[in-house]
Amino acid sequence: MKGSTTRNAAVFVAEVAFFVCLGPFLVLASPVSFRARRAIRAALRLWGGGRLRPKPETGAAIARPSAASPSLGNLDLVEAEGDDFNVTNYELAVLKALATGASPSRVVEFGTYTGRTALNFATAAPLAIITTIDMTDRATAVVRDHARIHRVYCDSRGFDEQSFLAEQGKAELIFVDGGHSYAVVRSDSEKALELISDGGVVVWHDYTQFRGVQQAVDELAMEGRLPGLVQIQGTTMAFWRSTGPTEGTRA
């Protein structure tokens, strides 16, 4: 009992010391640098989420979903380790399942970031051309070199969807995850509704996280242009499927 108390006291003192040292770094560095935030999260994970305890080991080995069932092979994630600005692994698996079910020939993504979702769309839909739009080039090398991922550098509000339609045709799957302000999301959504094919799927990321995203999407729904819009349980995403040739066009 005495030994246990001594150990608990030692752990408590170590925890306090850890956060006294880390606290100023959290305050000063986290608003400044994305890399600093990653370093902080890595440090917290190292110490068991902020507690000075070793990460518990499990008895089961880590395996891809296909190891459990060959039918789940298409849900194996590429670049499974994302960051706070990426979709979660669960959301990525949902997106891959949607892409698998849609069997698209064309996918359009508003917001490339590192290209993680584009790369997973490419593996889920092996015949699809993925067009991904972003103002910056933060994509990984494997995305930049991928033959079926076409990157467009521009402010998405300036993306010419009519030229895309004339050259490429409509898309069966569109993922909206670019700028999160109301103006950008509304513009991206209008373009998505022009580009989506009959029976195609549009997904908005961060629908439950950002006011601008929710406002833009909800407005479209209240205008009667997104019948059947739903939030996907366990995710921050909203989902809508086009069911007719007149849905999704501007009023």
pLDDT tens digits for 177-232? 999 999 999 999 999 999 999 999 999 999 999 999 999 999 999 999 999 999 99
Which amino acid makes up residue 192? A
| Statement to judge: residues 18 and 83 lie in one domain | no
Task: Specify the pLDDT at position 58.
Answer: 43
Are 37 and 123 members of one domain? Answer: no
Q: pTM here?
A: 0.70
Q: Residue 52: inside a domain, yes or no?
A: no
**Does pLDDT of 33 surpass 60?**
no
- The rounded distance, in Å, linking the Cα atoms of 14 and 64 is 37
The answer to which of 49-53, 72-76, 92-96, 188-192 has the lowest mean pLDDT is 49-53
Residue 78 confidence (pLDDT): 73
Torsion of CA 153, 248, 189, 138, to 10 degrees: -40
Alpha-carbon distances, residue 80 vs 14, 83, 88, 92 (angstroms): 33, 10, 9, 9
The better pLDDT of the pair 9, 112 is held by 112
> In the numeric block, which tokens belong to residue 118?
């584009």
- 59 in any annotated domain: no
Q: For residue 120, what are the domain limits?
A: 76-241
